[in-house]
Structure 1
Amino acid sequence: MTQQEDIKNAIECMRHGGVILYPTDTVWGIGCDATNEKAVAKVYEIKQRDDSKALICLVDSDNRMQRYFRNVPKVAWQLVETTVKPTTIILDDAVNVADNLIAEDGSLAMRITQEAFSKELCYKFQKPIVSTSANVSGEPAAANYCDISEEILNAVDYVCWTRRQEHKPHTPSSIIKLGKNGEVTIIRK
């Protein structure tokens, strides 16, 4: 299967409310259409995770990112431009995504991916894609495809073929929360 066919299949699955398993710029992720509440609920169910713990979304560009927040502070763009490691930014006043994806305080975690497959997937899907590590909550994240449990593999609707043979170290993204008053909180280095 070509990468383009893989992307097409993953998009088709998400357009019909399905959940995918896919390689990202960090670890393997469980994903879905971030605007579809039922699909997001299914991701929480697969993760066996309380929906009060927010999930991360991926987008392909800063233009796409700004569609999902009422206001993106200047410091967020500076972070996007200067960070080398994949960095997830939590911003206030999220809009245009599933309500069950937005944290109780109105914030949303989003990352602009630079990795070829996930960037192309986000670009062609034209919406943010949920990206949470491919594991049951509390268990180690799946750095590579071979690390994903049968339980997770059987719970999703589509498993991407791209990068399945890869065996190299991957780590989760850094997470930085930017508050309304300019406060910066490092959640994960």
Structure 2
Amino acid sequence: MVLAINPQNPQPRLIKQVVDILKQGGVIAYPTDTTYGIGCDIFNKKGVKNIYQIKKRDPRKPFSFICADLSDVANYAQVSNFAFKIMKRHLPGPYTFVLEATRIVPDSVVTRQKTVGIRIPENAIALSIVRELGHPLVTTSANISGEDVYHDPLDIEDALGHMLDAVIDGGILRGDPSTVISLIDDRIDVLREGVGDISWIHQL
């Protein structure tokens, strides 16, 4: 099922429809500010398990997730003053920040080191979904692990639609993945260079 949602002004009725799917354990494809993602409610074990199966992903590799805003992040990660200043300056944006997890985070999205990857994308559709849902949304690229990422929601529907409960059409996205930065122990460590600019790191 493809749902066309306005990328600038997401229709509340359609956002609610998507959230109803998520609350029932559904898995969706949705736009971010980089690429399309596949996601579910992080607290729904069935949904998380399904995403691992859809992507054929190693279960030892946890997913990142999307929070609604910085105040929401503090519920799921240990945010020092240093980390808060960095994240406030660069979020919403195309970054995934790695922080120590709080106890509320399900094991399925926590690494062995008890860390989590958190995003606040600059995308009205994704953020509207998370706000309406009331807690984070799993985020992982819309593809089979190791294969090319799909940029067109209609291609996602053709390739993966039979395994998804909804594909949200927010337009064609040709971005690369987010830049992943660890802020553990108040140290900046770039784990993956992506869309997010990192030149600011050398100016600190």
Q: TM-score, normalised by structure 1?
A: 0.88
Q: Does 1:19 align with 2:27?
A: yes
Preserved contact between residue 26 and residue 143 of structure 1 (Cα < 8 Å): no
* Deviation of 1:168 (Å): 4.7
Residue correspondence of structure 1 range 94-133 to structure 2 within 5 A: 94-133=102-141
Confirm whether residue 79 of structure 1 aligns to residue 86 of structure 2: yes
Q: Once superposed, what is the RMSD of the aligned Cα atoms?
A: 1.9
Residue 121 of structure 1 aligns to a residue whose secondary structure is: helix
Contact 1:36-1:98 within 8 A present in 2 as well: no
Deviation at 1:82, TM superposition (A): 2.3
- SS at 2:128 equivalent: helix
What is the distance in 2 between the residues matched to 1:142 and 1:18? 20
Deviation at 1:149, TM superposition (A): 6.4
The answer as to whether partners of 2:32 and 2:122 remain within 8 angstroms in 1 is no
Q: Distance in 2 between matches of 1:97 and 1:168?
A: 30
* SS of match in other structure, 1:68: coil
Query: Structure 1 regions of 5+ residues with no counterpart?
Result: none
CA distance in 1, matches of 2:157, 2:16: 25
- 2:75 alignment partner, SS class: helix
Match for residue 188 of structure 1 among 176, 192, 204? 192
* Structure-1 residue corresponding to 2:182: 177
Amino acid at match of 2:116: L
Runs of 4+ with >4 A deviation = none
What secondary structure sits across from 1:131 in the alignment? Answer: strand
* Alpha-carbon spacing, 1:144–1:77, altered in 2? closer, same or farther (3 Å): farther
Q: What percentage of residue pairs aligned between the two structures are identical? A: 30
For these two proteins, the number of residue pairs brought into alignment is 184
Amino acid in the other structure paired with 1:131? T
